[in-house]
Structure 1
Amino acid sequence: CDVFCLLLFFYLGHADAPVLQGLWESVRAGQQQILLSPYLAASFAFLTHLALCAPFLVLDALGGVCQRVRSWRMAAGSGPPPSLWKWYECFWRVLFKYITAVLPATALFQLLRSSSLPELAPSCWQLSVEVVACFLLFDTLFFIWHYCMHRVPWLYRAVHQMHHQHHVPFALAAQDASSAELLSLLLLALGSAWMLGCHPLSEALFHFLNSWLAVEDHCGYNLPWALHRILPCMGGAPFHQTHHKKQSKNFAPYFTHWDHLFGTYIEPRSYFRKRHDRTVMK
């Protein structure tokens, strides 16, 4: 299987006509004005975030009546899932910050970037490499910035403290932070793709997956099919919820290697696993 995957990647990466070329040409022909809009990045981030939160809104609604859904929640003894009213309040807070701060600032950043689109689509190999590189760079920059926000008292109070109002986070709360923090994280993501010179398709895929992982980190559920159960190098929701409980540990957003290297890693709280294991045994 591994040999087959390597051969497939080799073929896709060296094909004369990239398999994504048709898709890229249709997008460029019909949506070039949108792709070059300075407001695309913030709009894409906000709308993608809402769409990816929708399944967890359903889970939270079902949690009041379904024991199976409640068994997936990590917050033992913390009460029921967040109410619809809490989701509603969070939505308006995030929307207000996007409109007043994130949208104009990221529009200015986008205007400073190149306004041209490449004619060729990336190969599947190039797409994969660029997305993985973006995640590794973003994870590094986020770790440094997140560590600083916790270690510098005035920075924590001015920028990061608002996000930690959620001792038990939920999906939409992934972006429930101060305007300065929201803006800084979006600029880190945009800057990572810019520094690596990524193709627009690679950048779009990176931003989409980045939004998904941020939502999953904050969802409050240790789902049986979550990505951290497949890839042991990733922390996932238990890793990040432990950070919300014990704020001096687990600073990286997705991977765990930086926390291991700098001695800030702590194993996710044992009851996350124990509750799930008891449920499976039943």
Structure 2
Amino acid sequence: MTEIWQRPWWFTNSSKPLLQPTWSYLLDNHGSLLHSHLFSALFPAAAYFVICTWFSCLMLIGPSQWRVPRPQILAVGHRSPSERECVVHTLLLSLFFVLPAAVLQSVLRTHIELPSRAPTILELGMGLMASLLLFDTQYFVWHGLHHVCPGLYRSVHAKHHQDHSGLELPISLAHLLPWGLYGGPAYHDKHHKSHKWHLAPYFIHWDRLAGTLAP
């Protein structure tokens, strides 16, 4: 009984973590697919499109109070694009940017031998958080370059500022993490109202250190 109390299910380092049956099934039945370059290229592109589609549906059918209004920052002579145009733009972005980038990453990566042991819930959560922090860092730099290089902004990033919309869902990291560490949609919306603030997509630490956190 003491051993169970000391090793809760979400922290266990036992030989059979909670996710082990699912992980073993995937390795035994789809191991060659998981190791293939094609899967590692198509999966992130497909996941990106599915997630965008899911949030697009929420924008269309979800409660109006979830929606973060588009800020009125469009240049004179520009109009706000329709939902259909936004969906088409997302498809084109997936086809000509996300998918080629995923293919290039897949080709350049070395072979990764997948472990037979599944991660624990804690390890999975820590891995996801580390991935978010790494993405937050590289996006902060890449996003900042778009706003200091006029040509890069006009040719690549301006379309995003025209298409911008957001969802403030009742359950999100912005509401779960303490001390406002995770900005959320309302945080990013301030960037669309004033381009000099809030360059990071998720967390606020880089904006705080760089002086781009809105007062």
TM-score range, shorter chain: 0.7 to 0.9
Return the structure number with greater helix share. Answer: 1
* Shift of residue 56, structure 1, vs aligned partner: 4.1
Report if aligned partners of 1:42, 1:98 keep a CA contact under 8 Å in 2. no
Partner of 1:8 in structure 2? 8
Pair 1:112 & 2:108 matched: yes
Counterparts of 1:5 and 1:147 in 2: how far apart (Å)? 48
- TM-score under structure 2 normalisation? 0.76
Partner of 1:22 in structure 2? 21
Pair 1:47 & 2:30 matched: no
* Shift of residue 240, structure 1, vs aligned partner: 0.7
* Shift of residue 110, structure 1, vs aligned partner: 0.8
Pair 1:96 & 2:95 matched: no
Report if aligned partners of 2:41, 2:106 keep a CA contact under 8 Å in 1. no
Counterparts of 2:64 and 2:129 in 1: how far apart (Å)? 33
* Cα deviation digits, residues 117-170 of structure 1 (max 9, x gap): 33222233322222222221221121122112212223323332222222xx23
1:150 aligns with one of 137, 147, 150: 147
- TM-score under structure 1 normalisation? 0.60
Report if aligned partners of 2:45, 2:98 keep a CA contact under 8 Å in 1. no
* Shift of residue 62, structure 1, vs aligned partner: 4.0
Partner of 1:253 in structure 2? 201
| Pairing 1:100-179 to 2, within 5 Å after superposition | 100-115=96-111, 116-166=113-163, 169-170=164-165
Counterparts of 1:222 and 1:126 in 2: how far apart (Å)? 28
* Cα deviation digits, residues 56-94 of structure 1 (max 9, x gap): 44444347xxxxx2334332897xxxxxx9333333333
Identity of aligned residues (%): 34
* Shift of residue 15, structure 1, vs aligned partner: 1.2
Cα RMSD (Å) of the superposition? 3.1
In structure 2, the gaps of 5 or more residues are 73-80
Higher RCO structure (Cα 8 Å, ≥6 apart): 2
Give 3-state SS (helix, strand or coil) of 2:30's partner: helix
* Cα deviation digits, residues 31-54 of structure 1 (max 9, x gap): 223323333345333433443345
| Pairing 1:130-279 to 2, within 5 Å after superposition | 130-166=127-163, 169-170=164-165, 220-231=166-177, 232-266=180-214
